[in-house]
Amino acid sequence: MPRAPLKVSCRLEPLSVLSPDGQLDAALEPKIPDADLRRLYKTMLASRRLDERCLMLQRQGRMGTYGPSKGQEAASLGAIYCLEPTDWLIPAFREIAGMLWRGWPMHTWMQYWGGFEAGNCPPPGVNDLPTCVPIASQCQYGMGVAWGLKLHGKGRVAMAFCGDGATSEGDFHEAMNFAAVYNLPMIMVIQNNHWAISIPRKCQTAASTLAQKAVAYGMDGIQVDGNDLLAMIVATREAVEKARTGGGPTLIEAVTYRLAMHTTADDPKKYRSESEVKEWEPRDPLPRFQKYLQSKGLLDERVQKVIDEEVAAELEQAVKNYESYTFDPIEFFDHQYAELTPDLAAQKEELRAYLESKKAARAAPGRSAPSPVH
């Protein structure tokens, strides 16, 4: 038999709308209400300021290990902007910009990284799963949610996020294969920030792109400039509409860059060069989108000043809310099972008795009153 190329039906494209210096490809510009454009900018700025504050809190010993999102705000915000409130979001741990858009309070984000269970609680009525640090495990959750949504048959979609390092995990591949086989309403967004902690993308796969992995699963894939908010919106709108109308899953590779450390537990200078970081700094999504709004007459010094003041006030209140939160260790038992097992129930009562005895000892004459646990 003569050799002939196989026919692959999946579509694979690259996409960019806004250049790093703010130049627009008008033919690809998405239609977005002016009010939404301003709110998108404020949300991106709020995410950046929140990120900076959390890093400061960690360095001051007021927060645990923290994973910054600096430079990756557009990848999550542009994609999540395309969701309806009834859709589901399954984040990893660098999606704070999009989570703010969905209604997550700043102080809840701080509580998560502060080690409090309250940081895992989505706002009332928000169809989101909590932040997920274990690599690629959320891919399976996203697939499962998408399967449930298909069974419900109400035209809702699930959007999951992961990093380039997650594409080396079995959970990612199993989720993608299952989503394609069962034609699930799922959008998988890979935040390709080029580094899985200290492992570069080139050591994760020999493929020239991560988007092309979609071909093996039998779904559409697209590689998007993840620092271009407009491009993320264009690509994700198409993927969401396709999923909502029964067209199945899409794999989106958002090409971005982690400008800060993986988390405060590592030193990126040990494994990547400063010149590489400098090369990516001009592609920062925040000033890029700022220039776009200025060119449209939607952002000037007066509007910028108002936005800066609003974000600063919201951030200060968030820090107060976070640092005034009191924690009861008994809560450890409240988030495990709907009904505690006999052993855990006994342990809960043992801990309660111990804490009460310590409290009584501190309050005894001659001893100062106990301070609340923070």
Tell me the C-alpha distance between 80 and 90, whole Å.
10
The type of residue at 65 is T
Please tell me whether residue 217 adopts helix, strand or coil conformation: helix
Q: Does residue 194 have an active-site annotation?
A: no
Q: Coil, strand, or helix at residue 158?
A: strand
> Average pLDDT, stretch 307-325?
97
In this prediction, residues 217-241 reach a mean pLDDT of 97
**184-210: average pLDDT:** 95
12-323: CATH class: alpha beta
The pLDDT assigned to 139 comes to: 98
Separation CA 253–CA 189 (nearest Å):
6
- Residue 267 burial by CB count (10 A; 0-12/13-18/19+): exposed, middle or buried? exposed
With 0-12 CB in 10 A as exposed, 13-18 as middle and 19+ as buried, what is 174? middle
Residues 166-186, mean pLDDT to the nearest whole number: 97
| More confidently predicted of 14 and 2 | 14
Q: Give residue 178's pLDDT.
A: 98
- Under a CB-based contact definition with an 8 Å cutoff, are residues 299 and 348 in contact? no
Instruction: Name the pTM for this structure.
Output: 0.91
pLDDT at 367: 58
Cα separation, 247 vs 230, whole angstroms:
23
Any catalytic annotation for residue 374? no
Rounded to the nearest 5°, which phi and psi values hold at 216? Answer: -65, -30
The pLDDT value recorded for residue 371 is: 52
Distance CA 135, CA 287 (A): 30
Q: Which of 59, 271, 337, 354 is the catalytic position? A: 271
**For the residues 288-300, what does the mean pLDDT come to?**
96
How much is the pLDDT for 23? 86
Give the integer Cα–Cα distance in Å for 88 and 138.
13
Q: Which of 48, 94, 156, 258 is catalytic?
A: 258
pLDDT-derived band at 37, boundaries 50, 70, 90: very high
Is residue 10 pLDDT above 80, yes or no?
no
- Of 102, 156, 201, 262, the active-site residue reads 262
For the chain, give the number of residues: 374
Average pLDDT of span 217-245: 97
What was the pLDDT predicted at 368?
Answer: 56
Give the residue ranges of DSSP H helices in 62-159.
Answer: 73-80, 96-102, 106-114, 137-152
The pair of structure tokens assigned to 54 is 């959390």
Q: Is the pLDDT of residue 370 over 60?
A: no
Specify whether 258 is catalytic.
yes
Average pLDDT over residues 179-205: 96
Q: pLDDT value at position 323?
A: 96
Res 332: pLDDT: 82
What pLDDT was estimated at residue 366? 63
pLDDT > 70: what percent of the chain? 97
- pLDDT greater at residue 324 or residue 336: 324
Q: Which residue has the higher pLDDT, 30 or 12?
A: 30
Confidence (pLDDT) at 122 = 95
Question: Average pLDDT, whole number, for the chain?
Answer: 94
Domain extents in the chain: 12-323, 329-363
pLDDT in the model for residue 34: 97
Could you give the CA distance from residue 170 to residue 341 in angstroms, rounded to a whole number? 32
What value does the mean pLDDT take over residues 124-136?
95
Distance between alpha carbon 13 and the CA centroid of its chain, in Å? 23
As a whole-number percent, the residues of the chain with pLDDT over 90 amount to 86
* Count of C-beta atoms within a 10 Å radius of residue 92: 24
Model confidence at 374, pLDDT cuts 50, 70, 90, reads: very low
Q: Sort 225 into a burial class: Cβ within 10 Å, 0-12 / 13-18 / 19+.
A: buried
